[in-house]
Amino acid sequence: MEGQTSIEMPKYKCHKEVYALRIKAIRIPSIAPNEESDGGAFIVPWEEGYAPIKVDYNFMSKHKPKPGGYYVVYEDGYKSFSPAEAFEDGYSRI
C-alpha cells in the first residue's frame, strides 16, 4: 500500500531556546457601533508584571490560542502558540 513504511521514522529531540508566557486569558477588544474589528486580540499573561500582548488576525486564525497554553516567541522572532501539555513536555524554564 502506498505511503506505508516498514521501518520506524527517525526520532528527534528539541534543543531550542524560546521565550514563552503562559496564557491566562484571551481578550477580544470591544468595538464601537459601525466599526469593524481587525480580528486581533490581546493575550493576557498568567505571570504578573507583563502587559497584555497584542496579536493580529493572522496569529489568531493560524494558531487559535487558548487560555492555559503558551504564547511562544522563537529566537528568530517567529511567534506561535503551544498547548500546555506539549510545551511543558518539551521545555524546562532556564
The CATH architecture one would assign to domain 18-29+37-90 is: Beta Barrel (2.40)
In the 8-state DSSP scheme, what is residue 64? -
pLDDT of 31 reads 64
Mapping DSSP to helix (H, G, I), strand (E, B) and coil, where does residue 80 land? strand
pLDDT of 12 reads 81
Q: Are 37 and 92 in contact (CB under 8 A)?
A: no
Whole-structure pTM value: 0.81
Return d(Cα 56, Cα 47) in angstroms, integer: 22
Reading the block at residue 38, the C-alpha cell is 481587525
Task: Give 10-residue mean pLDDT values along the chain (94 residues).
Answer: 73 88 92 67 96 96 97 96 95 90
What residues contact residue 51 under an 8 Å CB cut-off, 6+ apart?
A: none
